[in-house]
Structure 1
Amino acid sequence: MTTNRFRRTRVLVTGGAGFVGSHLCERLLADGAEVLCLDNFYTGRRETVAHLLDNPRFELMRHDVTFPVYVEVDRIFNLACPASPIHYQKDPVQTLKTSVHGSINMLGLAKRLRARILQASTSEVYGDPIEHPQKESYWGNVNPIGTRACYDEGKRAAETLFMDYHRQHKLSVRVARIFNTYGPRMHPNDGRVVSNFIVQALEGEPITLYGDGSQTRSFCYVDDLVEGLVRLMDHPDDDIGPVNLGNPGEFSMRELAEKVITLTGSSSRLVHRPLPEDDPKRRSPDIDRAKALLGWSPKVDLEAGLEKAIAWFKRLREGEA
């Protein structure tokens, strides 16, 4: 679904050359916005937005959000931060700086411009949850000194900054807690479970399950997520607090692996590896707030979404994507 809701609106998307960011830029352009895509290309890639470069309403800027940027915009989507463990654990200090310094810089820009700003937070703020499914009122169960803390605590600190800027400076803020998202343009080597399983299956390699494969996740197709982000940014209320965006359908890692094997027609077998430190055992969103406030719920089921993602990974292998 597209509208003209952002017509003549200049929108900054940090991390815009990433997986989710590229889809968001595409959607905003379809909705009539002028889009400034900002990325330092640490995990984002020019190829994800190459098809947008000829659009006169699209601009690509190489910049790191840990340094201030001086531009003129009406709305800001702050997506900048490596989101997969293999990337955010490679340079944990920089990951934390991206969440904290990056948020301070983007909030400072929004304050100067009186622009509305949305923070792409994460389900990782809930840590290894004791409450299930996770509601926005749940404060989480996070190890503050573990190997995942650079990302988990960075995003928690960013949420604090956003809400304090709202309370102290009356800034118009939005916070989206994003659960596992998948679809075309995922980085093939980002270490995320969906891309891992698809790549391994297409190559006929063993599919890696950590632990016994019983841990669960929910998987939201990227178009559904982008619709949620757009609706949240467009919501008129400045004091709604964090909103979960994810698909409440819950699947074990083993179930996901078996679906991927079936859909790819692969002969891959399952192999088991030790469970990583602080890896959550269960993860599924309660999306009642998103339904009530935004009229939003995901439309694409897992099998249909996986078919689209697999088709894209096949084209990537053949050099066509």
Structure 2
Amino acid sequence: MHVLITGGAGFIGSHVAQRHLARGDKVHVVDDLSTGNRANIQLLEGYPNFRFDHADMLVWDGLERAAAWADRIYHLAAVVGVYRVIAEPTRVLATNIAACERLLRAVTASGWKPHVVIASSSEVYGHRLESELHEQMDLSVSTRAGTRWNYSVSKIADEALGLSYAQKFDIPTVIARLFNTTGPRQTGRYGMVVPRFVEQAVKGEEITVYGDGLQTRSFCDVRDTSRALDMLATKATAEGLVVNVGNDREISVNDLAELVRERAGSDSIIQHVPYVTAYGEDFEDIRRRRPVLDRLRKLTGFEHEHTLEDTLDELIRTSREQQSRENGHGHRSMVCHQS
């Protein structure tokens, strides 16, 4: 099978690529490396069936050829992370909407009908207080989120584009509403909470909880997420459906901080930080985010293979190994930096 992954050097995309290469598929990744990282796909570049293009989806001249080549397309390219969404509100709209529309136009023009998986986000549910979020709910956009609302607006637009092209041009498509995904290769650099907590706990630094910490999230290991996306592409693209993808175990950010500290055996102090201090902009965060996964399970038979504790233990171990390597070369790194 030929697999095209936009944003494939990113945290989730690299795991999707690895999954397909492991079973012998040909994989073509395109990424502008704005939030993706070449290191994420470094090991994959040794596969003879792997190809990488460093390119911007908005202007990439290879898009039409790639769309005509692919049997399956995962559209994961997007501006992500709270820091970047707030810092680059216009780029969020331009990249997330225009890139999706350009991809779908290329698929339509190709005359080929690859199975298309479009990544959306749980943020399209907005500031709802219901204990569970399901696909039949009306979507909500609130200006209480400040310029962060541009991200949910862009994802709602992507969903509308995907479903419209699927209906009008009979493109087999599924919209995957991703809830909080975490695991190996994720960075805390753009505001992702789990890697940030893990790094702080391992280093013995303050664990910084933004806001009051009562907001809840539901974390899914990236390997479970990539497996769910693969299963949906196989089972559900012909349906033209929206499907929640994540884990339905809910945890408050305060409890997550305590859990990370406990698993790491850390003496770090948990410190609460106002949003305006953390991000340079005040906004009202989404309070609850727990998916109903009935549709995913009914369509695919999906079950999780990783617990949150499993994922945290692996991230803590990896963080300790990284810190040990850095400490072992600390003097040399400092000298290089000063020069």
Q: What is the TM-score normalised by the length of structure 2?
A: 0.88
1:308 CA displacement: 1.3
Please state how far the C-alpha of 1:127 moved relative to its aligned partner. 1.2
Q: Is 2:291 the partner of 1:285?
A: yes
Query: Alpha-carbon deviation of 1:240?
Result: 4.5
Cα deviation, 1:190-216, whole Å, max 9, x if unaligned, reads 211101111111121111112221110
Q: Residue 134 of structure 2: SS of its match in structure 1?
A: coil
Deviation per CA, 1:19-60, whole angstroms, max 9, x where unpaired? 111111000111221000110000101001000111000011
CA RMSD of superposed structures (Å): 1.6
**Any residues of structure 2 matched to 1:1-321 within 5 Å, and which?**
9-68=1-60, 69-70=63-64, 71=66, 72-111=69-108, 112=110, 113-143=112-142, 146-235=146-235, 238-275=238-275, 276-319=282-325
Contact kept in structure 2, 1:129 and 1:140, CA below 8 Å: no
In structure 2, C-alpha distance between the alignment counterparts of 1:11 and 1:155, rounded to whole Å: 23
Percentage of pairs with the same residue:
36
Structure-2 residue corresponding to 1:5: none
SS of corresponding position for 1:167: helix
Deviations 1:50-97 (Å, cap 9, x if unpaired)? 001110000111111122523222211000013211122221211111
Q: Deviations over 1:89-126 (max 9, x none)?
A: 22121111121111111112222232221101110111
Distance in 2 (alpha carbons) for counterparts of 1:54 and 1:250: 38
What is the CA–CA distance in structure 2 between the aligned matches of 1:17 and 1:89, rounded to whole Å? 22
Q: Does the CA-based 8 Å contact 1:110-1:117 persist in structure 2?
A: no
Where does structure 1 lack aligned partners over 5 or more consecutive residues?
1-8
SS in 2 for 1:281: coil
State the AA in 2 paired with 1:317: Q
Distance 1:318 1:60, change over 3 A: farther
Q: Say if 1:75 and 1:115, in contact at 8 Å, map to a contact too.
A: yes
1:285 maps to a residue whose letter is P
CA–CA separation in structure 1 for the residues paired with 2:322 and 2:237: 41
Structure label with greater radius of gyration: 2
Per-residue deviation, 1:237: 5.2
Letter in 2 for 1:293: L
Where does the alignment leave 5 or more consecutive residues of structure 2 unmatched?
276-281, 327-339
User: Which of the pair is proportionally richer in helix?
Assistant: 2
TM-score (norm 1): 0.93
Is the partner of 2:46 in helix, strand or coil?
coil
